[in-house]
Structure 1
Amino acid sequence: MQRLKKIAKVLGFSLGGLCLLLLLTQAFLLRGTRGKSINQANGPRTIRYSEIPTILIPGWGGNTVTYNHMINHYQDKSIAQKVMTVWVSPRNHIRVSGNWHGQKNALIQVLFDWNYDASFHPQVSQLRHVLIYLNQHYGIKQTNIIAHSWGGTEFMHAYMGSKRLQRYLRLNKLIFLGVPVEESLSDRLPYHYLLIHHSKDKNFHQLRVQMKDWQLNYPITIYNLMGSKEGSRLTDGEVPHIQSEMLKALIQSQSMIKYHQKIYANTTHSQLHSRPMILKEIEQILWGKEN
């Protein structure tokens, strides 16, 4: 009996230590990237400085690391500056560090306290609350979006499912990095519009209906950037191209949306937010003078 008590005590301490370690690890991963003010005079001459902020949305399991390299790269070169971190809990409780008051080329980092669910749906509600909060409390009326993987899927559903956001938060440029908008089609299929009739993805068909009902009366540009794993032409290793390319079919009902697509060879899913050539592409899209 005494031996069993000792074993139970050791197990209790071990489990407690493991839980503490996991909590500390999660806290570290959700610390948020450090912001740094930029000096426009030191920035490249090719850069245009705009008051339209850019919201960064991570995908499944994403955390500070997701956009850490991107943010630091742009800050070091005085191209853009991280001004806010917004954390949101599974119960839609929002915490904020920093402030947005019209800083030029501002980056706002969104972090989910927990985004390891089997479905993206819990984060849809959380993200919708974040977007409404930023609009209401900080007066953000227009924004760019950079979203990786399920982060883009969540954004589409959060925005298209809210008449309030459609009315009060205008979208400018959307950059999707390996975002699956349709998840039932095989990775062996090349894109063509008629596949829309073969889709068994209820979430995708819900977006189709919402997209058709959207009273869009201003221009938006979408950039759909995908990777192609070495030795494969149709996937980045995690998201098949077809599941991202179905975005073309989804937006066909909206004449005000311009669509651009690019596939990067030898680029994995996780490299889409860190490869130098992609960071340069994003820089040009959002802040290049000729855009």
Structure 2
Amino acid sequence: MHFTPKKIALGIVIVIEVIIFCVLIQWQFRGRVLNTVHVKQQSTATVFIPGFGGNAASTNDFINQYSWHNVATKSLRIYISKKNHISTMKQYHPIVKNNPMVQLIFQDDLHPHRQAAQMIYAMHYLYKKYHIKKVNFIGHSSGGNIAFDYMIHNPHAKQVPTPVKLVTIGANYAPNDPLVKNLPKGLHILNIAGEIYNSKTDGEVPNKIVKPMGKLVRKHVGKYRYYVYSSNPMSAEHSMLHENPSLDKIIAEFLWNNEYPAGSEK
């Protein structure tokens, strides 16, 4: 059979389209793992913090998956300006006993230390305007550092929600930070590292710089676990960790059912 350049090009296009179709089908149904998740409904708000250069797209999948599967409720999108002005971009649902979720959007999304300093204004805002008394934090990459730095620098802040749980994904921490003693004593932490197959890295952040958080915080918080999520690049690569319903399930069971993943380490 004679293959002309035109036929070869057409064949390549068809193969690419088939691959894209298969990926889209897998992507569409990947959220089914959350169908079996049943959690307690609470008034504690869960605050989503994006990583370096992150915006709404960074945490949309997290929030939408939980909302679509009735695990938690998409409640607020909060904007933090460079001048520390806090405003509500959108209120989707009232803050009640429905596992409310709050999405933070920083105008300056490139300076984690500055963003951590701005968190106090956002927390005051949530406390005063929406009467939120308790929060969980979910931070991807430097988003975890932002939540962590906020807590260690504001141990005596008044009129802010009390941090209950922290989920940190693919982040690293200074190994000898003396301010770690300021973490809330009852805080529960789930520290997650991504691992592409058995490479001991998520492609950007090696596990060896994620794991040491345990040594830093164990003596200062109520409970700590370290968990390695190992899978293929579509699931475990650094930027895909917050687009992964299987990981969403693990996090949901930790946040709202107090369940730690099997295989997690103290």
Coarse TM-score class (shorter-chain normalised)? 0.7 to 0.9
Structure 1 residues 121 and 216, CA gap change in structure 2 (3 angstroms): closer
Counterpart Cα distance in 2 of 1:224 and 1:135: 26
User: For 1:171, which of 138, 150, 163 is the aligned residue?
Assistant: 163
Q: CA deviation at 1:164?
A: 3.6
Q: CA deviation at 1:278?
A: 0.2
1:148 is aligned to 2:148: no
Computed over aligned residues only, the root mean square deviation of the Cα atoms, in angstroms, reads 2.4
1:51 is aligned to 2:43: yes
The amino acid across from 2:245 in the alignment is P
Equivalent residue number for residue 268 of structure 1:
237
Structure 1 residues 92 and 269, CA gap change in structure 2 (3 angstroms): same
Pairing of 1:176-215 with structure 2 (within 5 A):
176-182=168-174, 196=175, 205=176, 208-212=177-181, 214=182
Counterpart Cα distance in 2 of 1:290 and 1:244: 21
Structure 1 residues 289 and 124, CA gap change in structure 2 (3 angstroms): closer
1:229 is aligned to 2:192: no
* Percent of matched pairs sharing the same residue: 29
State TM-score, norm by structure 2. Answer: 0.74
Counterpart Cα distance in 2 of 1:164 and 1:176: 23
User: For 2:152, which of 143, 153, 160 is the aligned residue?
Assistant: 160
Equivalent residue pairs, number:
220
User: For 2:215, which of 245, 249, 266 is the aligned residue?
Assistant: 249
Q: CA deviation at 1:248?
A: 0.8
State TM-score, norm by structure 1. Answer: 0.68
Whether the 8 Å CA contact 2:46–2:101 is kept in 1: the answer is yes
Q: CA deviation at 1:289?
A: 7.8
Counterpart Cα distance in 1 of 2:160 and 2:82: 24
1:278 is aligned to 2:255: no
Whether the 8 Å CA contact 2:47–2:101 is kept in 1: the answer is yes
The amino acid across from 1:269 in the alignment is H
Counterpart Cα distance in 2 of 1:281 and 1:121: 28
Counterpart Cα distance in 2 of 1:237 and 1:44: 30
Counterpart Cα distance in 1 of 2:120 and 2:203: 29
- Gap regions ≥5 residues in structure 2: 1-34, 261-266
SS at 1:272 equivalent: helix
Structure 1 residues 112 and 226, CA gap change in structure 2 (3 angstroms): same
- Gap regions ≥5 residues in structure 1: 1-42, 183-195, 197-204
CA deviation map 1:183-225 (0-9, x unaligned): xxxxxxxxxxxxx5xxxxxxxx4xx32222x3845x2210011
Whether the 8 Å CA contact 1:90–1:122 is kept in 2: the answer is no
Equivalent residue number for residue 101 of structure 1:
95
Flag as ranges the 4+ runs of structure 1 deviating above 4 A.
none
Pairing of 1:61-140 with structure 2 (within 5 A):
61-96=53-88, 97-98=90-91, 100-116=94-110, 119-140=111-132
The amino acid across from 1:252 in the alignment is R
Whether the 8 Å CA contact 2:163–2:184 is kept in 1: the answer is no
Equivalent residue number for residue 224 of structure 2:
259
Counterpart Cα distance in 1 of 2:259 and 2:241: 24
Q: CA deviation at 1:149?
A: 0.5
Counterpart Cα distance in 2 of 1:244 and 1:289: 22
